[in-house]
Structure 1
Amino acid sequence: MVLEVSIARTNDRIAMIESALETARDSSNDDTKSSAGDKYETSREMIQQDINRYQGQLLEANKDLLQLTNIATTITDATDFVKLGSLVKTNLGLYFIATSIGALKIDDMNVFAISPVSPIGQLLLSKKTGDSFLFNKLNQTITGVY
């Protein structure tokens, strides 16, 4: 369920970025040369910066989607250690080791989708049920790995 919500959230993000990119490209094409040359050049440059930023965001979102899709094809039923694709339950919360999507509300649970290369993701990798770790001055104990 967490994986499906993560994929849906990432697909929504991709659609929003593609829409913003299309709007920026339309603005670039519609922008006509004005009598104030500097104003025109500044406007064109700002639009181009927006396009470049959206293209970068789209690239990252597509990488996230690919990673989530790969997790979907490699998930096993049981695991002893935290790895990519694990849902980790601690005494303070739930973490999904996948991509940095952030907080997900699933039914009545809050799950934090985090990257394995994030600081907390690095702390969690290879840990198992019963292990403890310190993050942001809070000691947490892993109570389950799924």
Structure 2
Amino acid sequence: MDKSKIVEIIKNKISEKIRNFENLITETRASNNDTKSSMGDKYETGREMLQQEINNLQRQLNEALYQQGLIQKVSADPSEKVQNGALVKTDKGLFYISASVGEIVFENNKIMTISDEAPLAKAMMGLRAGQTFSINNTHQTIENIW
């Protein structure tokens, strides 16, 4: 499988996520400015809630920017063992260890992207094709690694 194309799909998903968060923050800030009024404390609560929403969106944006930094460092070179940047086929599915952006579809294959911090990634880290591992009482065998 061509991992460089998978990396491109992930980069595009992360870039789209970043654009969405930036737009939401801009829109929320604009609505926060619209609520400024001389009507008193009633609107202060609304403005505070909007500010909390902006802070929440900013945290999510920062996480997406962190993921973007992670995916920039990932190598599309073939892997001999499970490591960051490895595409791993087990008897239960396909997993790409990099930035976690959920499920992607590539060449009619569903691939679950997972962080190297995910328990599943940690359970199979360093293993090679043919080896088995267990997580949550589920045994999996690594069939192939790209």
TM-score (normalizing by structure 1):
0.92
Residue 113 of structure 1: aligned partner: 113
Q: How many angstroms apart in 2 are the aligned matches of 1:41 and 1:49?
A: 12
Q: How many angstroms apart in 2 are the aligned matches of 1:6 and 1:79?
A: 18
Task: Note the 1:51-130 alignment, pairs <5 A.
Answer: 51-71=54-74, 74-76=75-77, 78-130=78-130
TM-score (normalizing by structure 2):
0.92
Deviation at 1:28, TM superposition (A): 1.1
Q: SS of 1:130's equivalent?
A: coil
Instruction: Calculate percent identity across the aligned residue pairs.
Output: 32
Deviation at 1:125, TM superposition (A): 1.1
Deviation at 1:138, TM superposition (A): 2.0
Which ranges in structure 2 are unaligned for 5 or more consecutive residues?
none
User: How many residue pairs were aligned?
Assistant: 142
Amino acid at match of 1:50: E
Task: Note the 1:2-81 alignment, pairs <5 A.
Answer: 2-35=6-39, 37-71=40-74, 74-76=75-77, 78-81=78-81
Q: SS of 1:28's equivalent?
A: helix
Superposition RMSD on alpha carbons, in Å?
A: 1.2
Amino acid at match of 1:9: K
Q: How many angstroms apart in 2 are the aligned matches of 1:107 and 1:130?
A: 24
Q: SS of 2:37's equivalent?
A: coil
